[in-house]
Amino acid sequence: MTKRIKLVIEYDGTQYAGWQVQPNAVTVQETIEGALKMLTRADIRIHGAGRTDAGVHALRQTAHFDTDASIPPENFAAALNTQLPPDIRIRSSEEVADTFHARFSAKGKTYQYAIYNFPVASAVKRLNTCHVREPLDVSAMQATARRFIGTHDFSAFCASNTDVEDKVRNVTRAEITADLPEILFTVSGNGFLYNMVRIMAGTLIEAGRHKISPEQTGEILAGKDRTKAPYTAPAHGLTLVSVLYDGVNGNAQ
């Protein structure tokens, strides 16, 4: 009997060309599918809640797959972890209704962008924080972050080559917290465009440098012109924190 299994996945994206399978590159999805084949002797496609770019990390990425393997649903996590490299861990596995879809059932996501603000880069945290040498004005960053909250057309804050037509998204949380030398940008919303969080992070860094004001950020947002927004911050500072679902499986995972 075929059953649908939901996975909650943590990974360090440093060594991977992102989540999604692609030719001539090692990805997180491909690596997990390879581990599934080792366990089940079947070719199984897993479906993630969304893509992450090369170098981006995840604490609770969500995915699902269908299988008729006899392995108990809750045992897939431990079994897969024996086949996976140490930079990918399955945090949990469970059986869900066949109406659940990791991507289309998702109601929202939370991301964090980490900045290491110190003259010298961190040796220990170099793979998951963006290093900024000059001092950043945290209060200016906080004021700028608030401009992102609400329902807006984020055309100015997505990659220019995106093929998504509807660029309206609802951001419910956008805040800056600091425990220097670390500065953390946390953002939640019903969905995010390609490179959206990284462009927001680049804007916040420029705000901290006093190169852009909260008012200018609001004008750029209203103007919907990508060329007017600041640069895209490096991928390795970004982490997918959680994906939100409704119903029985509705806790943030």
Of 53, 163, 166, 246, catalytic: 53
> Of 80, 6, 9, 14, which is closest to residue 241 (Cα–Cα)?
9
Tally Cβ neighbours within 10 Å of residue 75.
11
Q: Quick one: residue 18, left, alpha or beta (phi over 0 = left, psi -120 to 50 = alpha)?
A: left
Residue 184 belongs to what H/E stretch?
A: strand 182-189
DSSP reduced 3-state for 140? helix
CB 24 within 8 A of CB 203: no
Cα gap 153→92, rounded to integer Å:
35
Mention every residue, 6+ apart, whose C-beta is less than 8 A from residue 11: 28, 57, 58, 61, 87, 88, 89
Which residue type does 170 have? N
**163 noted as active-site residue:** no
User: Residue 227 burial (CB < 10 Å; 0-12/13-18/19+)?
Assistant: exposed
The values of phi and psi at residue 184, to 5°, are -120, 125
User: Residue 40 burial (CB < 10 Å; 0-12/13-18/19+)?
Assistant: middle
Give the DSSP letter string of 86-121: TTEEEEEEEEE-TT--TTTTEEEEEEEEEEEESSS-
Question: Which residues are the active-site residues?
Answer: 53
